[in-house]
Structure 1
Amino acid sequence: PAHPMVFCGLFPVSQEDIDSLEASLSKLTLNDASVSVAPDSNPALGRGWRLGFLGLLHMDVFRQRLELEYNADVILTAPSIPYRVQLHSGSIVDVTSPSVMPPDSEVAEHFEPLCRATVITPAKYLDAVAQLMLERRGSILSQSYIDSDRILLEARLPLSEIVIDLVDVLKTRSSGYASFHYEEAGWQSCQLVKLVPHLNDRPVDELTLMIPADRARQRAVVMATKLAEELPRQQFLIKVQIKAGNNKVVASSQIKPFRKDVVQKIKSGTDRTRRQKLLAAQREGKRRLRMVGNVEIPRDAFIKKS
């Protein structure tokens, strides 16, 4: 039987709707037994579920049915994929969330899922499409003409490279003409890195990601930039850092605080030390506020941006 390959979190926009959403979810999964459902919770989003789908299209259709057929107002978090780890004891564990990933000291080897991709594209876009497959850590398996103008290209690439934005980029590079289909193709050994966002040196476990090591730096920069854009400014400086599993900072950003003009009422000609004392007191106040201030993470920070 088919098993889920893409996972995401499902939460109601308002926690008051949790019961009605649960009833809608139960009815919809009766007609679609391929969806896996497990309870989940998040400090920022509240109670919800962890859902597993056969692919991105399956996930999008399920969301549309929830909204159109049941009038459900939901938040669907960015999709993630399962990984597999082999422990030193010899047992194999499937991991669908970074929170349940065993510590590195217990892991002998990591594995990521592979997919066999089939792309049909006009011949003039073949070079651009093939280059995209290689950029996404893929390998070209075969290519053949299916008529005088179209080529069928087969490639093997990691599932993690598909769930982000591969289809959108493929459509852009082929001017919308290329079609894309993929199916499961086993597992391959890989080196995984856990990326943990920190706000003012406090970890945000809800946004933690598992990512292949060769993509960690690139993804960390995107995470730091997105968080800096989404988080609202405060009266104190917010330091955004993305740390790898070894607690090494791989990307960082800052959100500057609001600034009050504390020297506005000082008359011209006043002793300069008065101005310096006021500015020093403001800096000290912001430093103390930063030590005790909490950063509230908005819901949009949990959702993948298009």
Structure 2
Amino acid sequence: MKNIRNFCIIAHIDHGKSTLADRFLELTGTIEKRKMQEQFLDTMELERERGITIKLQPVRMDYTLHDTRYTLNLIDTPGHVDFSYEVSRSLAAVEGAVLLVDATKGVQAQTLANLYLAQAQGLAIIPVINKIDLPNARVAEVEEEIGNILLVEPGDILHISAKEGTGVAEVLEAVIERIPPPALHATQDALRALIFDSAFDIYKGVLAYIRVFEGTIKAGDKIRLFASEAGADVIEVGIFTPALKKGDELSAGDIGYVATGLKNVGDVRVGDTVMDATHYTLHDAPLPGYKEPRPVVFASFYPEEGEDYDNFRDALGKLKLTDASLLYEPESSPALGRGFRLGFLGMLHVEIISERLRREFKLSLIISTPSVEYHVRTKRGEDILVRSAALLPDPSLIEILQEPRVNLEILSPATYLGQLMKLMTEYRSEYRATDYLTKEIVILKYTVPLAEIITDFYDRLKSVSSGYASMSYEPAGYQASDLVRLDILVADELVEPFSKIVPRELAYQEGKRIVEKLKVVIPRQWFAVSLQAAIGGKIIARETISALRKDVTGYLYGGDITRKKKLLEKQKRGKKRMQAEGHVEIPQEVFLEMLKK
């Protein structure tokens, strides 16, 4: 056990984490040269395309240093603000972390947030500056930033180029020398292992990815899961190479997988503790740190074709197997039929799930405007949770309406301070503090309603700071606000997915913005289409999409003008009739376009 090192890489999106993992795999000979491809541990097509890590893929590597053979278990972690629970449970499974920072961009807010999580777990941190080969690398400045955060000497910070392979061997040596081996427990201890991820196999059931803390586990063992209270017989155990490789047993300190044979993925929860069913008692303590993942953004999804509903339900079940944080519950709408209300960790999560449903399951879906969870106290004294504008009670019945708030931290070069503060005035934000990390790097702190930052805030933040600013946030409770429900009518029909809850003083601007945008994105019809924004029964903004014009007189030449008038009158009557009976089919692209501000 003293030759095992369990570690992960903490880095922001695009700072070279997957490339560094690739070099580790090459250096340790884990993957043959001919089988190597870029971003080897990013298994989803979507990850390779976007260059971000969504699903963490663990790997076991063997490396020899000073004639001693070491086993290195690397757990990859996602770097985006939406996936912080996945990061936290990866951190709980290891003893150390490589803090990877891009020499051209410096420390980012999300890296800081994940670093604080790692320090709270007491992990050994190895600071590494990547991309030193680039002409615009700011090595000395980034060194100062890291030094101020970690309170380390410049000599402790490693300099590498993961792309060129420079300095990567030194990182592996530092992992062995600076990260402690797993703590030794008495060998007769009963089994305790942490589930840090799960996957689904048609033949073997749910696969639990585990870190064993005490005891051993092998095929044929009877196990019990603490939080879900599910029992299972182990079908097989093994390690990641990164492909699954069957083994004999996993013992304390090991990272590997267990095939449980369970068919319900809800039984195998991330952060849960695996215990030995034969020695299990109610007094056994689980491993600390388990939390139910809490969705913060909600959106309704409806299949475009009614008959796709069953396929959609199955698809969600399969996605849930690989994504423990996805929540869904059935709902129906008069306009759109049967669908599901989905809960997500953030906006990137919404995009990724909708993209995966489209790509992997070939589903065409209508998606509503995302919303957050509001707390409503009615005049009768009932407390209700509202996750969709359509479910908000009539204003006359509401006593108090509260919305969730977050503490937001923006990390940016000080030159953009003015633009960022100006940007924050456009959102209902409350200034808290400005801290300087170094002379050039500033941290802005605000409290802001979550609903304000779930749509386009991240893109605008990037745009005003030329891509340099980054953000992270954490929940800050609920606060009462003056909010109303804004409805959108297309051709006098209420389109529920466009309904949203907005602050009363911003309702007019928001209604006007939505109808103006719809005027551009909805295809023109053979009749004029009215677009209206309403609060209660009151119309507050209106636009009209003009009718397409068909040239009904084109074949006439010369002759009497009355013939021409007659045809135009007939066309006018037809359009009027179409307008009275007309129903506008809104294509899926329009719903997706409306998600963007």
TM-score tier (shorter): 0.7 to 0.9
C-alpha distance 264-12 of structure 1, shift in aligned 2 (>3 A): closer
1:14 deviates by: 5.5
- Per-residue deviation at 1:6? 0.4
Check whether the contact 1:139–1:156 (CA below 8 A) recurs between aligned residues: yes
Which residue among 486, 490, 493 is the counterpart of 1:199?
Answer: 490
Unpaired runs of 5+ in structure 2?
A: 1-291
Deviations 1:26-69 (A, max 9, x none): 2432454433210134566654321112322443454566677x
Residue identity matched to 1:132: L
Instruction: Indicate yes or no: 2:545 matched with 1:255.
Output: yes
Aligned pair in 2 of structure 1 residues 136, 305: CA closer, same or farther (>3 Å)?
closer
Q: Which position in structure 1 is the counterpart of 2:533?
A: 242
- Residue 120 of structure 1 aligns with which residue? 411
Mapped contact 1:6–1:80 kept (Cα < 8 A): yes
In structure 2, the partner of 1:144 is: 435
Q: Tell whether 2:405 aligns with 1:87.
A: no
Shift in Å, 1:238:
1.0
| Cα offset, 1:5, TM superposition | 1.2
Is residue 518 of structure 2 the alignment partner of residue 232 of structure 1? no
> Do the aligned partners of 1:199 and 1:238 also contact (CA within 8 Å) in 2?
yes
Aligned residues: 303
Q: Decide whether aligned partners of structure 1 residues 182 and 284 sit closer, same or farther in structure 2, where only a CA change above 3 A counts.
A: same
CA distance in 1, matches of 2:423, 2:305: 40
- Contact 1:115/1:185, CA 8 A, preserved across alignment: yes
Give the TM-score normalised by the residue count of structure 1.
0.87
> Relative to structure 1, is the Cα distance of residues 59 and 274 closer, same or farther in structure 2, using a 3 angstrom cutoff?
closer
TM-score, normalised with respect to structure 2 = 0.47
Partner of 2:316: 25
Q: Return closer, same or farther for 1:29/1:267 CA change in 2, 3 Å cut-off.
A: closer
Does the alignment pair 1:300 with 2:582?
no
2:464 is aligned, of 173, 176, 180, to 173
Greater C-alpha Rg: 2
Letter in 2 for 1:286: K
> Structure 1's 66 and 283: CA in aligned 2 closer, same or farther, altered over 3 A?
closer
CA distance in 1, matches of 2:311, 2:469: 40
C-alpha deviation, 1:207, in angstroms: 2.5
Tell me what 2:577 maps to.
288
Q: 1:236 to 1:56 in 2, by over 3 A?
A: closer
* AA of the residue aligned to 1:261: D
Aligned mates of 1:277, 1:123 — CA distance in 2: 70
C-alpha distance in structure 2 between counterparts of 1:152 and 1:141, whole Å = 11
| Distance in 1 of aligned mates of 2:557 and 2:343 | 65
State which drifts further: 99-108 or 274-283.
Answer: 274-283
Give the deviation of 1:98 after TM superposition: 1.9
Query: Which fold has the larger relative contact order, with Cα–Cα distance below 8 Å and residues 6 or more apart in sequence?
Result: 1
Q: CA RMSD in A?
A: 2.7
Shift in alpha-carbon separation, 1:4–1:222, aligned structure 2, 3 A:
same
Query: Unpaired segments of 5 or more residues in structure 1?
Result: none
Q: Deviations over 1:133-152 (max 9, x none)?
A: 22201011011111121011
Contact in 2 for aligned 1:45/1:299 (Cα 8 Å): no
